[in-house]
Structure 1
Amino acid sequence: MKLKHIFLSLIFISALSCDKDDANYEFVEVATPQIMSKAEFRKSVAIVTPRDIEKAGKIYAYKDYIFVSDVGKGVHVIDNANPKFPKKIKYLKIPGNEDISVKNDFLYADSATDLLVFDISNINSISLKQRLEDVFSIYNFQMPLGTRFVNNEGYNYQTDIIVGWTVTKEKREKIDNRLIDFAFEGAALNSGTKGSTTGQGGSLARFQIVNNYLYTVASHEMIIFNISNLTKPTLASSLYAGNNIETLFQADGYLYIGSTDGMYIYDLVNPEKPTRLSEFVHWTGCDPVVVDGDYAYLTLRGGNNCGEQESVLEVIDIKDKTKPTLAARYTLENPYGLGIKNNTLFICDGTAGLKLFNKENPLKIYMVKQFKNIQSKDVIPLEDKLLMIGGNTLYQYNYVQDGVQLISSFPLK
């Protein structure tokens, strides 16, 4: 009997111990990177025939062409000589691509860690002219949302590129909501002049060309390239630029950086080493920025992984670039990109569509028109028309007296 009681007691104690141990563990999603050698990754760049888009990203306009990114995969080239009937003509397969910029028929594109230069002077015979390897230490891994752990065993940032993820559920020790650092060794997780012709991107851009320099931003870094020789850019400098950077805008000799934490203003007195003049801090939210005269306009999108619940437009007084101040705030629904043409402010309010605001008085902005029942993500107000992308559709509008009028809607898929 005594042995039986001892045995039962040991089982009971063991059960208590297991319960205690189980309380310290939980099932979580673990992301394991799918990797490709850099050598193979670099061989996969190609100029091919048009194809359907998978996930439309950013838009860029240059001459009679529109470039639409296929998030993380490449760039679709669209002939827009006739805006009523745009036509896909080429696809640039660029794995790991987020942004492009164009100057004088040379297109600059990121490909994960590398900068590529394409000659597009003959749009029917585009060629890759140059590749600067390993100039971006930070690139967008497209980390799956909701994952809290990363299994990076076998990944070598010096020789490998992350091209996707495998997600599994595993039992892991609880972390008590501590801040998780997903950084891998050596890489962080995230992602015109007179006489020249430079293209124009939207407010979600991370690339900007100013004179003979290409400015690029990653999650916390600015990397600057000298493009005096268009076919042979050189890495000029890199610097810490701020936290959680998302967008880059240039106007009148200044760079305006949008981050989830605020807006940073840099001057370009020394173009290779921009100087930070100030920072405007706001609550955490996704934050593109555009500038017109003495005011900057920021949209903050909440209700998602950007960190804030409210979605608003903020108008920032930047007369004194060293002391930007909040001038006005307006409620929105779920804004993304924005743009300005004369006294009209165009805001892509996500599922709420495209909204047009009169900003003649920046302190008393009011909506004059709304295009509902469309998905809107970003706009480019060109001189003669407005370009907008939303969902997998490219929209084009003429400017008319009371706003804009649809020219065409072009499905990309």
Structure 2
Amino acid sequence: MKATLLLLLLPLFFLTSCTDNCERTTTYRKYTSVQLPISDVRQAVSSGTPQPLVEPGKLYVKDQYLFIVEIKKGIHIFDNSDPANPKAISFLSIPGNVDIAVRDNILYADSYIDLVALDISNPTAIKEVNRVETGFTNGLVGRTYWSYDKTSMKIYDQREEIATTTVKTDCEGSFNILPYLIPIAWFGRYYESLAFADGVYNSSQAPKTTTPTTGVGGSMARFAISNNQLYVVSSSTLQLFDITDPAKPTKGKSATLNWNVETIFPYRNSLFIGTTTGMYIYDVTSPAEPKQLAAFSHVRSCDPVVVHDNYAYVTLRGTSTCGVAGTQDVLDVIDISNLSAPRVAKTYPLETPYGLGIDYPTLFVCQGNKGLRVFDASNPLDLKPQQTFANVNAFDVIPISKTLLTIGKDGLYQYDYSNPANLRLLSKIAAQPAY
């Protein structure tokens, strides 16, 4: 009993302190309401000097350039010609930005209710060339929720920060631990709820020309480009934009999906859409007319997906806010040889799995605070562990040209995976948390 009590109290000593006056200080996560006139949001897009990486979000690669989203702030742009020495070029300020995708020299980014098209021909002097409303009027980013009110024409958002408070206590009497354990648990869950996203790369998607027309990104996508369409998912909708002329995206059809949509992955003539309760498969043989082929259900959990050949790899994480208490964390291998009738072919227990990527036959799986796992997926029904990195914080990956880009709350890591059994660290872009 004493040992158990000690374990419960241990985190408290790291977040509280007791002075001679018997004052105790606790640290907690604070939320402040913010109102932003939409006119101000639309005037705020600008390209400027490089900024420190503070709260890294989604990751994207186009040619020699590396794009890292600063959650709801904008995009860091790096010259990654030498992965061992990435060089910061500029910072693109975009209020409310979470997702990105690139076709030719046009970058698409969300800015709250808008889809913004930007000319990145000169990464040091990026220009806005177009803007169209997405039709999405609210969103959830981490643990903060935003919404748009058409009457007031304002964005209502939340600012998140770490705060401290000091209270006087009875040195001789008892101390109520409950108010302090609650914010500690809340803080611990926050990073587990983060979801980074964008279109996923695998070797079969690699452009066949020396200058690809579309970039590549990580596995928890909400933006995906296929043929002449940009597909964007919200929590319950698939929205299409025609990008035949990349600089002039045109809003197209939309499809209503189940609630809690999380990711979208394009593969050949199909879209794989992950939700917290299952996976949709859409046929996009006619890109502007997606047709649902199947809806595959699973227990409530977070659900990024990548695909190679006849198998989809899905990580299910039930220990965070998107799952059900007691749900097992697993990596599911789904047989999609018949796209209209997907089935679970094999399930692998895997602690706190997040994003994943495949460059066949190598599969990379992020495990958040638990690190990064590397598997030989030559036989999807008999995955062979090759390497584990426990000292990195990994939420999503892009394997491309034998360089693995891994993003997490502590920054970006790049590895040479020429030998998948012995990855070699090339560089790290460290995040500088504001708290």
Question: Helix, strand or coil: the match of 1:400?
Answer: coil
Q: Equivalent pairs: percent with the same residue?
A: 40
Q: 1:365 aligns with which of 383, 398, 412?
A: 383
Cα displacement (A) at 1:165 = 5.6
Superposition map of 1:10-21 within 5 A? none
Superposition map of 1:46-61 within 5 A? 46-61=46-61
Q: Which residue of 1 aligns with 2:249?
A: 233
Q: Which residue of 1 aligns with 2:226?
A: 210
Question: Helix, strand or coil: the match of 1:162?
Answer: strand
Q: Which amino acid in the other structure matches residue 296 of structure 1?
A: A
Question: Helix, strand or coil: the match of 1:39?
Answer: helix
Superposition map of 1:210-289 within 5 A? 210-289=226-305
Cα displacement (A) at 1:42 = 1.1
Q: Which residue of 1 aligns with 2:154?
A: 160
1:407 corresponds to 2:426: yes
Write out per-residue CA displacement over residues 18-59 of structure 1, whole angstroms, 9 at most, x where no aligned residue. Answer: xxxxxxxxxxxx988522111112112211111112211110
1:301 corresponds to 2:317: yes
Q: Which residue of 2 aligns with 1:100?
A: 100
Question: Helix, strand or coil: the match of 1:394?
Answer: strand
Give structure 1 stretches of 5+ with no counterpart.
1-29, 168-190
Cα displacement (A) at 1:392 = 2.9
What TM-score do you get using the length of structure 2 for normalisation? 0.77
Write out per-residue CA displacement over residues 88-121 of structure 1, whole angstroms, 9 at most, x where no aligned residue. Answer: 1111111111111111111011111101011111
Question: Helix, strand or coil: the match of 1:41?
Answer: helix
What TM-score do you get using the length of structure 1 for normalisation? 0.81
Where do 4+ consecutive residues of structure 1 move more than 4 Å? 30-33, 154-158, 191-196
* Structure-1 separation of matches of 2:314 and 2:384: 16
* Structure-2 separation of matches of 1:341 and 1:158: 48
Question: Helix, strand or coil: the match of 2:214?
Answer: coil
* Structure-2 separation of matches of 1:74 and 1:274: 31
Question: Helix, strand or coil: the match of 1:42?
Answer: helix
* Structure-1 separation of matches of 2:418 and 2:232: 35
Distance 1:269 1:66, change over 3 A: same
Write out per-residue CA displacement over residues 203-251 of structure 1, whole angstroms, 9 at most, x where no aligned residue. Answer: 0121111111111101010110111111111011111133211011010
Q: Which amino acid in the other structure matches residue 226 of structure 2?
A: V
Q: Which amino acid in the other structure matches residue 78 of structure 1?
A: F
1:112–1:136 contact (8 Å) kept in structure 2: no
Write out per-residue CA displacement over residues 282-309 of structure 1, whole angstroms, 9 at most, x where no aligned residue. Answer: 0000110000000000011121211233
* Structure-2 separation of matches of 1:157 and 1:285: 36
Question: Helix, strand or coil: the match of 2:42?
Answer: helix
Superposition map of 1:100-139 within 5 A? 100-132=100-132, 134-139=133-138
* Structure-1 separation of matches of 2:261 and 2:84: 36
* Structure-2 separation of matches of 1:269 and 1:36: 41
Superposition map of 1:13-32 within 5 A? none
Give structure 2 stretches of 5+ with no counterpart.
1-29, 162-196, 198-204
Root-mean-square deviation (CA, aligned residues, Å) is 2.5
**Matched residue count:** 356
Write out per-residue CA displacement over residues 351-382 of structure 1, whole angstroms, 9 at most, x where no aligned residue. Answer: 11110011111111121110111110100011
Write out per-residue CA displacement over residues 289-341 of structure 1, whole angstroms, 9 at most, x where no aligned residue. Answer: 00000000001112121123321101100000000001111111111100001
Q: Which residue of 1 aligns with 2:139?
A: 140
Q: Which residue of 2 aligns with 1:170?
A: none
2:99–2:109 contact (8 Å) kept in structure 1: yes
1:35–1:155 contact (8 Å) kept in structure 2: no
Write out per-residue CA displacement over residues 246-303 of structure 1, whole angstroms, 9 at most, x where no aligned residue. Answer: 0110101100001101111000022112011001100000110000000000011121
* Structure-1 separation of matches of 2:44 and 2:222: 23
* Structure-2 separation of matches of 1:230 and 1:53: 29
Q: Which amino acid in the other structure matches residue 377 of structure 2?
A: K
Greater Rg, structure 1 or structure 2? 1
